[in-house]
Chain A
Amino acid sequence: MTSAAATPDAELAPPPGVGEAVALAPHARSAALLLAIDPTGLGGAVVRGDGPALDPWLRALRRALPMGAPLLRCAPSADESRLLGGLDVAATLTAGRPVHEAGVMARASGGVLQIPGAERLTTRAAALLASVLDGGVPQAAGSDVRERPAPLVVAADEGTDEDVTVPDALADRLAFRLVLTAPPARTLFDEPGHVDRDAATAAADVTAARARLHLVDVAEELVLALVETADQLAVIGGARAVLLALRAARASAAWSGRTEVSDADLMLAVALVLAPRATRLPVPDDSAVTDDAPPDQPRAEEPPPESEAPEANGAQPPPPDAAAPPSRPPEGPTDASTPPPPDDDAERPIADRLVDAARAALPPRLLAELARRASAAASRSGAGGRGGMTMTIGTRGRPLPSRAGDPRRARLDVLATVRAAAPWQALRARMDGGATVPAPDESGGHRRLRVRRGDFRVRRHERTRVASVIFAVDASGSAALARLAEAKGAIEVMLAESYARRDRVSLVAFRGAGAEVLLPPTRAPARARRLLAGLAGGGGTPLAAGLDTARALAGRERRGGADPLIVVLTDGRANIGRDGTPGRPQARTDALVAARAIRADNLPAVIVDVALRPEPFARAIADAAGARYLWLPGGDGGSIGAAVRQARPRAADA
């Protein structure tokens, strides 16, 4: 453990064949190695980064795995039969006997399954992947017999939208979250001879580490330190995160040939597993440590992110002061390794140093991200993949005429299928008779219906669509002076109604320099109410930003299969433009542009004017957005409720 204090930079020594050839982001090659050492224990990784960044890392990972380990890809829209295998309908029909196809999980077992665009995984697919990660690959879909271990899952998050992320059910089970940056142009990894020679040694070392894995001990105080660190960072995922960190630490010790987890192993584990799950960063209590804090200050040429507006983020930990060390080179992965804390820190409690390790592992500008994560953490899993449950081919609702389709994805309409196949029977019998299948059927006597793939008809149902009401609340100083409290009361009335109707409700607040989604679409009104109660007014009125955010959310809800309705509560005194700068004329122009975009998207909206006297500009906004205009007299929540009821999308009443 003493040696660990001397090398607090928690990076593993570059392994032959994995490290040298590929210049990877800090910790990324360590992550690849640890995954190769304990694949079933660590599950895999959520990675962000495009192809040029991801591919070298995947190659490094494969090189660390035993020779011949498969690497398969699977689309996020994969269904059960693609993932777990099932009956191959076309082959079955041709062969006249059941032909099963193996699922991609079974074929990737022992290797890597890459899922590009994993943020688009459906809830169902994520649940299936999670069950495989928990218990291994079932022999067939629905089977309890699990013989093969799960493959490493590399979920590539390619989302540009911050609120759409890899479903929690899956992300919780994947140990690492990596942000990969493209390697410098001049790297050696494509030089074939070099790679082949070293790959064998790397794989051999990994195999040796695997064999040592179960011998590695963890001291009691290190477990305690890990739990305390997780507590201080308020990691999402609870005990699972701590256990994954423990396994990562153990794999790291095994790689270094030790039988005891050292401080350095633990720091690496914290940096790789706990830091990316942190929702809170403890403020350093020690001035010496402040130097280690990541430079939170964005570089000068970057526009300040909206969420860093002072009023909008009262709850966020105070950013380290601007005198933090100069920012690192932006794209220098090898240079960006963590600066070692002063040597005299070695005597400090391990838990403190672990928190430092986490802090150092966080990329710059993450504090804003942390605040967002904290607010989204509680309800994200609901929002993440629910889009997958609203399919055009539902299993419920008003039946529609059946049409051609894949019987494994939807319910087979037997009668329609037979009807489609019937006219061709004589012809097919002749054709089959002339070909390989013998004329008298092997099923003994009775005639077999000759069904081809194209005959399949599946049932379709028109789903009752869910209504999704998006409240955009003006929390600016002027609105607060006017009647924010009454607006809140009105929203509560509507929340209660939404609850009764099983609508989804979401909350956007705008004030200061920008707008934020306080509550992603949910059916739990208790949470909305709590957030609303804690919503303090203050700052300018960025009406344009509020409208834009509400429109983006509405668009997402519509794509997810819901019928959105935007309800804007504002006093109409826009004075902050789209770019966050004050100025009434520009702010008004921007707000009108934003309102017209709502009309262009054909989104139903209601503008509720909460000013003391009707505000002409609020009406102008309503006209531009093609929305209903409503002036809220005397804090009467009931009348807003009635207006929203009228404007509510029709389908949800069906």
Chain B
Amino acid sequence: MPCLDPDCWSIVRVCRLFISKRKSAPISSSPPKAQPPGIAQAWSRSILIPENRLREGNLESAGIELATEGADGVEKQIFRNLSGKKDRGVKSYDVTSPFFLRYRSVKATSLNQTHRDMNAKMVDFGGWDMPLHYGSQLDEHHRVRGGAGMFDVSHMLALDIKGETARDFLRQLVANNVDKLTQSGKALYSCMLNPEGGVIDDLIIYFLTESHFRLVVNAGTADKDLAWMLARRDEIAPGLEIIPRRDLAMIAVQGPEARARVWQVIAGSQAETENLKLFQATFFDKYFIARTGYTGEDGFEIMLPAVDAVEFWNALHAVGVAPAGLGARDTLRLEAGMNLYGQDMDDTTNPLESGLGWTVELKSDRNFIGKQALLEKPVKQQLIGLILLDRGVLRSHQRVITRPDQNEGEITSGGFSPTLEQSIALARLPLSVSAGDEVQVVVRDKMLRAKVVKYPFVRNGKILV
């Protein structure tokens, strides 16, 4: 038996030296356009991770990077042992060999190596190898609430919708009404529904021009979303271009000091972005800067060419912005009362029962996919907040028993709130429950008391409950 240790290079040398060229699936119906150098690399980056580490889910995933580098027809496969201290070779390999059968391909953002260099604990998140934390999730959380933190959110997918029929397509595609977008750069949060009224995904839509909108969708749902959009495009708006922008990196800089730190790093950007209102974005130089976020703090979400992401990230770090991982991102968004797709809503849940009624526009005569189902189905449940009164930690899927009627509900997202220093949750409960009530939560073999509250729990550093 050859050595199967992923850190051991010797086995790799005996693997056959070929691999089929990794190509991205054809996605836009429009003819491929000339791409600037670096895009091919951004498209095809993936990482091989030992299967047993993925099963553990939370083990550090020292792995092997497999990427296509170069562009303009001059491409080469590179193979890099990420668990080693330095690059040990540039070769291509047979991924069907027994050695590789123990590995699974996981996608990597352009900041992957940077996260590893910063000692991040990496996890598989929706098929992406992403940082969970860089040492302490709690510290990262507090840095964002009290100063400035940054998140690599390049795993999320930006899509450009281009063509004369863009607005009309989106009117029908999503539950919120894009007619609310009248000023260039303005953003809208919305759900994209299936005909049954279930949530395919939640997304942000930026209005740029009448023939150009930009969407940002979740990482884990990106393939599903794209397939859905392309199929609806063919029915509703043939000829409209839907262009995935994997050539872009996205970095969220969040916290009371976030904007000032960005202005320090991007020379000249202050004058252009100081007066951006919430949910407003603008292009500046190579950056697309939006005053949006997922933490309940002020800040920017910034798109830029993936090839420039490492330099930008390091520059932010140099001015005191703390790297923050998915762990802190989750506790921050939970405190801010922001939904997480796959937990608080999914294909089978109604947005009106997921705390997202405010994003569904039913008043106009506009017809959108899922509207009929929403109008026909009575709303029986609500998403509402819980604060645990006893000791313990609320977690998703725990049962909630309402009093005194003994109706049942379920926690959709729960955890320890670092700001409140107690456990909080979002729960889907019967409409009979209201803020101020006390409920019981089944935690293992105990019934714990929790108070029902309106969320958000925390906004702009202040506790609201």
Asked whether A and B interact, the reply is: no
